[in-house]
Amino acid sequence: MPRPGEFYDYATGGKLEIDLRAAAPGKFKLLRQFAYIDRKYPYEPFVVPRDLFNWQTDLASIPRYFTWLVPGLGNHLPAVLLHDGLVVDRGAPREHIGPEISREEADRILRDAMLELGTPLIRRWLIWTAVVLATAWLDIERRWLWRARWIVTVLIIGTLGTIATLDLFDIWNVLPWMDDQAWWRELLLGGLFAVAIPFGLALLWGRLWIAAAIFGIAFAFLIHVTLVIAVLYSLYAALEWLLRPLDPARHVVPGVEAGGAPTVTRVDGSFADGV
């Protein structure tokens, strides 16, 4: 008998197996329903999807230049698929069987489900932060206020991060906590304020302050490497586009093998981590 905190196969009640079939470029269909029992709702499981034949997922919606940090596949996959089934656009019909919940509650269930699956600490909190920020932007009361907080946070951290970088290379010495001193002291103080300033801004986010703090600190520390990866990926994408006329693979339909059968990926209950 499945217990709270467990995923299982809905049809058999046994070990979880996730069968994915490519349905369209970047989209997949599940071939069997799965269920999860959240500890807050121990008497009624969440079953995904409600409509097995028409429901589609894009798996983890992670920009390609962030997959080095949070891979698309891994032991967080069942929780991500569950979240996809729990979250719908305003006014859209439910895509899961089980208790009716808000989008914020779905975000909490995602985080707790990743904990049950053994997703590493930093990775699960980063994933949770990403979905919470999406909820604040798309589907929460007084969205204008949350969007304003989001924009202000990005602008302040991005601006100070840019100035701090210029200060570190002695191009523009303007920040009082860095000033003109040894590079290692500037680097140390820059890192200290890269934590303190986002944490202070997060206090303006009210009940979502934890997600705001994680986002702000991650943004402050990862902005440089993310920009480099984004530039490199853009160059790669441009080269792919330029060389596409010479590539015989351009005639292959995405998600379909040469024999014409849609590809099927099976992931069993072990959920080996990886990309």
pLDDT tens digits, residue range 241-259?
898 888 776 655 444 443 3
Residues 127-161: pLDDT tens digits?
999 999 999 988 777 888 889 999 999 999 999 99
pLDDT at position 107 over 50: yes
In a domain, 216, yes or no: yes
- 16 and 56: one domain? yes
51 and 168 both lie in a single domain: no
Quote the pLDDT of residue 261: 35
In this prediction, residue 172 carries a pLDDT of 84
Q: What is the pTM of this model?
A: 0.81
Are 137 and 150 members of one domain? no
Q: Is residue 125 domain-shared with residue 178, that is, in the same domain?
A: no
Report the pLDDT averaged over residues 230-236: 87
pLDDT score of 10 more than 90: yes
Residue 118 pLDDT class (50, 70, 90 cuts): very high
Confidence of residue 267 (pLDDT cuts 50, 70, 90): very low
Of 75-84, 114-123, 255-264, minimum mean pLDDT range: 255-264
Q: Dihedral, CA atoms, 44, 46, 50, 53, nearest 10 degrees?
A: -130
Asked, for residue 90, whether it belongs to a domain, the answer is yes
If asked whether residues 34 and 97 sit together in one domain, one would say yes
Q: What percent of the chain has pLDDT over 70?
A: 89
Burial 125-154 (b: 16+ CB within 10 A, else e): bbbbbbbbbebbeebbeeeeebeebbeebe
Q: At what angle do helices 209-243 and 121-138 cross, to 10 degrees?
A: 90
The answer to whether residues 158 and 186 belong to one domain is yes
Q: Could you tell me if residue 75 is inside a domain?
A: yes
Q: Are residues 65 and 165 in the same domain?
A: no
Q: Considering the domain boundaries, does residue 58 fall inside one?
A: yes
Which among 223, 103, 196, 213 has a CA at the least distance from the CA of 149?
Answer: 213
Burial status of residue 259 (CB atoms within 10 A of its CB: 0-12, 13-18, 19 or more): exposed
**Could you give the percent of the chain with pLDDT greater than 90?**
49
Same-domain pairing of 81 and 121: yes
In a domain, 275, yes or no: no
Could you give the number of structural domains in the chain? 2
Burial of 27 (0-12, 13-18, 19+ CB in 10 A): middle
Q: Are residues 137 and 147 in the same domain?
A: no
Same domain as 125, residue 13: yes
Q: What pLDDT is recorded for position 230?
A: 81
| 83 has pLDDT over 80 | yes
Q: Give the pLDDT mean for 229-233.
A: 84
Same structural domain, 127 and 260: yes
Task: With respect to residue 18, please indicate whether it lies within any of the assigned structural domains.
Answer: yes
Q: Is residue 107 domain-shared with residue 213, that is, in the same domain?
A: no
The mean of the pLDDT values for the chain is 85
Domain extent, residue 177, equals 143-249
